Amino acid sequence: MRKTIWIISLLAILIFCAYIPLNNKGAATAHELSRNSVDESFQYPFLIHMITPGKTAAETHWRLISYGHYIYGYPFYVASALAAAPVQIMYGEETENQVQLIVLLERQLVSVLPMLLAIGIFTYLATRFKSTLISIFVFLFLCTIPGIVRQNIWWWHPDALTILCVALTFFFLDRDSLRFSRNFYIAALFCGLATGLKTIGGFFAPVIAYLLIRALIEKKLTLKKAIISGLGFIMVMVASIFISNPLLFIPSARDRIIQVHVDHNYFFTHGWADDDPYGVGWAAWQPVLNGWYGSYVLLAFALCTHFYNSIYGKIKEISRMYVAWIIPFSLYIIYIIAVKPDHYWMPIMLPLFSGIFPMLQNLWDRFIEARKVDTDRAFMYCSFATITVIFLIVQIIFNLQTGWAVFSNAL
């Protein structure tokens, strides 16, 4: 495992560095940033206001807390402020003019780095780092998903931090292994952070329900203990949300934050005030999914790998949790969300695609075991493995062609 961790870490460093030349463009001045990236240029003044010292210690403290841009959670701006802190220390009053340097740091440290860490965690959950070669393949495969490549370029947003919190939630739920002890509540903490960042932690409800119901069926929990564990998870999650955003303790600020999210939720579900014919459903989302993640056939196959892994694979538990996460979340986006941002799918696609390699390895192992004792069964495993390889090759070609096009266009 140690060898695998070192190799994955080296690959992550190389990929991190590969994005630096791309992210060190398009923001020489605030005006250039506004022409090239509407969202980043909108966030930039909030960050500068946050990290600029006030005339008094109290004003400085209030600037750090009252970040103003409430559609994104406070942890996002805390991470952004930490990334920009060295620039503030070095340049002082001239910090605001160091647009390109600050934006580069934000893109790399708040987007690229957390995404690579999240992919590393999803790789571990799929392979347990038992096979160095397979772990490398999974890691690189996930890194080359076009939607992931795109978000690593000119993308200073909270999505990567949110996905890292999602990955850590799954990691600690898996580590807990139905014991409902310390790791279960650490998972609740990261679930709360995911909620505080982009309000997606609520989609862990089916996952937690599955774990509690399974523990009841297997008599690992009494009904009383299951209720206490479920309520405990919610309490830690809510505490994490409040502690990670001190403004929530101030009634007027809390009301303002809630209203901002209610207003934005209306636009997300109804569309913006423009001429775009917003719609929901499979047909409406098909161009986005096909363009950034793959055809419906490939995506359906990737989902099927988790059903297989849930029954026959070596990663049964995490695959079942993924299914409980992927299906409700996907249906919500498809049938509720009217706007069509491709990055909404990233927390779904990373766990979704991580199941292909484990299923292929399992089919191959079963083929090896059966070929000398049951040729018919061996042929069946070989056939399924061949189909999996074909789907995998098609997806890899799609990833490389589309991902490289995105990467090279930004060079």
CA atoms of 28 and 273, how far apart (whole Å): 31
Q: Note the Cα 32 to chain centre separation in Å.
A: 29
List helix spans (H) across 275-374: 282-292, 296-311, 316-336, 346-353, 356-370
Report yes or no: 66 and 73 within 8 Å, Cβ to Cβ: no
State the greatest distance between any 2 C-alpha atoms of the chain, in Å, as a whole number: 81
* pLDDT, tens digit, 9 for 90 and up, residues 167-204: 999 999 999 999 999 999 999 999 999 999 988 999 99
Residues 6+ apart with CB under 8 A from 34: 41
Closest CA to 162 of 203, 191, 123: 191
Cβ contact 269:260 at 8 Å: no
Handedness of CA 300, 302, 308, 309 (dihedral sign): negative
| CA distance linking residue 144 with residue 402, whole number of Å | 9
CA atoms within 13 A on the CB side of 97: 5
Q: What is the pLDDT of residue 273?
A: 64
Q: What letter does residue 72 receive in the DSSP assignment? A: S
Looking at residue 25, the DSSP 8-state letter turns out to be S
Question: Tell me, what's the pLDDT at 313?
Answer: 80
For residue 57, count other CB atoms closer than 10 A to its CB: 9
Alpha carbon of 38 to those of 43, 154, 157, 240: distances in Å?
A: 9, 11, 12, 31
pLDDT of residue 143: 98
Q: What is the Cα gyration radius of the chain?
A: 22
pLDDT at 276: 66
* pLDDT at residue 267, as a whole number: 84
- pTM of the shown model: 0.95
Q: How many helices (H) and strands (E) would you count in the chain? A: 21, 0
- 154 to 37, 62, 79, 148, 161: CA distances (angstroms): 8, 29, 17, 12, 15
Task: Give the separation between CA 362 and CA 315, rounded to whole angstroms.
Answer: 10
Q: How far apart are CA 150 and CA 138, in angstroms?
A: 19
> Whole-angstrom Cα distance, residue 286 to residue 136?
30
Instruction: Name the burial class of residue 224, with classes exposed (0-12), middle (13-18) and buried (19+) by CB atoms within 10 angstroms of its CB.
Output: exposed
Of 83, 76, 102, residue with least CA distance to 159: 76
Using 70 as the pLDDT threshold, list the residues of the chain that sit under it: 273-277
